[in-house]
């Protein structure tokens, strides 16, 4: 059966694949109207095939979250026939109720990024895309079933705040996010989750708690009458990552047993019904201006370079505009 599920993971997850924890065939980077995706692998499991994409490339952390070409990655998976994406994400807990190594199926997001292209529909007005529920409820249920069957410690609730990075949050920022109601902090779920919705894909995330956010407190986790020292915390987080192959295999089993019931495949139905876009998603981006398309085709590899150039160009224009029209930005002028 053709693979319809994909996992997008970070560097630690890719290291597992590189070390042979998955039986995988490298399909390589895919060309898209938005540049090249990161290399994609087709993995085999007892319960069927799935795709794996390493967000940050294949040589360590060589693409930082701000410069990941999220649009190319999501587009490439859609084009391969993917219908459901599971994001595997490292987080830091703002709330000390979460334990190091614990899994969290997050159910809401606060977007604190400011540099990332966050829509496929940059060159046309399309109106709004609803964000409730943010994550696919059906895929979330499959993930909680997976974690239950694998006897993992997890929480099925949490609000994730996505910061721009690469720097860490300040203590004041962590307190601000806590006052917003955020529980976990990370750098990767945005704009992935929003882009997946624009291509009518199911998307949910398994987060694992790798450490605590910089809240300015001297908190040290205390379990079973003892302080959990730093080496033990690192070991706990590593163990959480190493369970990934088993969890993905179990998820494939769960998905086969419990077909999903959700409305993700019709998240753009309103825009299709109004005639703004056609029923064939491949035609949605036909009117992208020549410049980005030509640029994307000219890059030998690494779509992020295309996005980086594009980002710089956009920043330059914004700067020029502010310099030429200071009255619009400075009320004292």
In the complex, which residues of this chain contact Zn ion (CB under 5 A)? 136, 138, 202, 262, 264
CB of 7 to Zn ion, least distance (A): 16
Tell me how far, at minimum, the Cβ of 136 lies from Zn ion, in Å: 3
Q: Which of 37, 4, 122, 12 is nearest to 296 (CA)?
A: 37
CB of 150 to Zn ion, least distance (A): 22
Q: Which residue has the tokens 């993930």?
A: 143
- As beta bridge partners, residue 239 has none
Closest C-alpha among 145, 174, 143 to residue 161: 174
Which residue number, 72 or 201, has a Cβ lying nearer to Zn ion?
A: 201
Q: Give the span between the Cα atoms of 87 and 105, in whole angstroms.
A: 10
C-alpha 77/C-alpha 64 separation (Å) is 20
Tokens of 140: 């979330």
CB atoms under 10 Å from CB of 81, counted, come to 11
Nearer to Zn ion by Cβ, of 138 and 187: the residue is 138
Q: Are 252 and 48 in contact (CB under 8 A)?
A: yes
What is the smallest separation between the CB atom of 117 and Zn ion, expressed in angstroms? Answer: 24
Comparing CB distances to Zn ion, the nearer of 74 and 93 is: 74
Cα dihedral 200, 201, 206, 207, rounded to 10, equals -50
Minimum CB–partner distance for residue 199 and Zn ion (Å) = 12
Q: In this complex, which beta carbon is closest to Zn ion, that of residue 141 or of residue 236?
A: 141
Q: Which H or E element spans position 227?
A: strand 226-227
* Secondary structure (DSSP) of 265-306: GGTTHHHHHTTSS-S-GGGTTTTS-HHHHHHHHH-SS-HHHH
> In terms of CB distance, is 92 or 197 closer to Zn ion?
197
Q: Specify the DSSP class assigned to residue 262.
A: -
d(CA 80, CA 77): 5
* Minimum distance, C-beta of residue 129 to Zn ion, in the bound complex (Å): 14
Nearest to 165 by CA among 266, 248, 56: 56
Would you say 138 or 155 has its CB closer to Zn ion? 138
Nearer to Zn ion, 237 or 264 (CB): 264
Q: Which residue, 43 or 142, is less far from Zn ion as judged by CB?
A: 142
Q: CB of 109: closest distance to Zn ion in angstroms?
A: 16
Minimum CB separation of residue 262 from Zn ion in Å reads 3
């Amino acid at each position: 059966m053709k693979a319809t599920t994909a996992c997008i993971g970070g560097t630690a997850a890719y290291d597992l694949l590189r070390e042979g924890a998955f039986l995988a065939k490298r399909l390589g980077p895919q060309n898209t109207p938005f540049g090249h995706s990161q290399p994609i692998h087709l993995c085999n499991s007892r319960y069927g095939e799935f795709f794996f994409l390493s967000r940050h490339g294949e040589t360590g952390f060589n693409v930082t979250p701000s410069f990941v070409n999220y649009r190319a990655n999501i587009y490439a998976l859609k084009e391969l026939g993917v219908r459901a994406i599971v994001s595997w994400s490292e987080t830091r807990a703002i709330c000390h109720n979460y334990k190091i190594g614990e899994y969290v199926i997050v159910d809401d997001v606060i977007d604190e990024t400011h540099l990332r292209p966050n829509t496929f529909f940059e060159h046309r007005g399309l109106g709004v895309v609803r964000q409730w529920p943010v994550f696919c409820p059906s895929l979330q249920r499959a993930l909680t079933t997976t974690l239950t069957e694998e006897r993992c410690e997890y929480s099925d609730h949490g609000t994730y705040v996505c910061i721009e990075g690469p720097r860490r949050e300040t203590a004041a920022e962590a307190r601000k996010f806590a006052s917003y109601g955020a529980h976990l902090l990370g750098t990767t779920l945005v704009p992935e989750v929003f882009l997946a919705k624009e291509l009518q894909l199911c998307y949910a995330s398994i987060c694992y708690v790798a450490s605590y956010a910089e809240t300015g407190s001297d908190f040290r986790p205390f379990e079973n009458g003892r302080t959990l020292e730093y080496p033990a915390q690192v070991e706990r987080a590593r163990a959480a990552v190493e369970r990934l192959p088993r969890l993905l295999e179990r998820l494939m089993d769960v998905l086969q047993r419990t077909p999903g019931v959700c409305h993700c495949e019709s998240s753009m139905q309103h825009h299709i019904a109004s005639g703004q876009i056609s029923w064939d998603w491949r035609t949605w981006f036909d009117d992208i201006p020549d410049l980005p398309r030509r640029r994307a085709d000219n890059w030998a590899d690494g779509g992020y370079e295309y996005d980086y150039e594009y980002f710089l160009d956009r920043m330059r224009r914004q700067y020029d505009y502010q310099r030429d029209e200071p009255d619009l930005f400075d009320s004292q002028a």
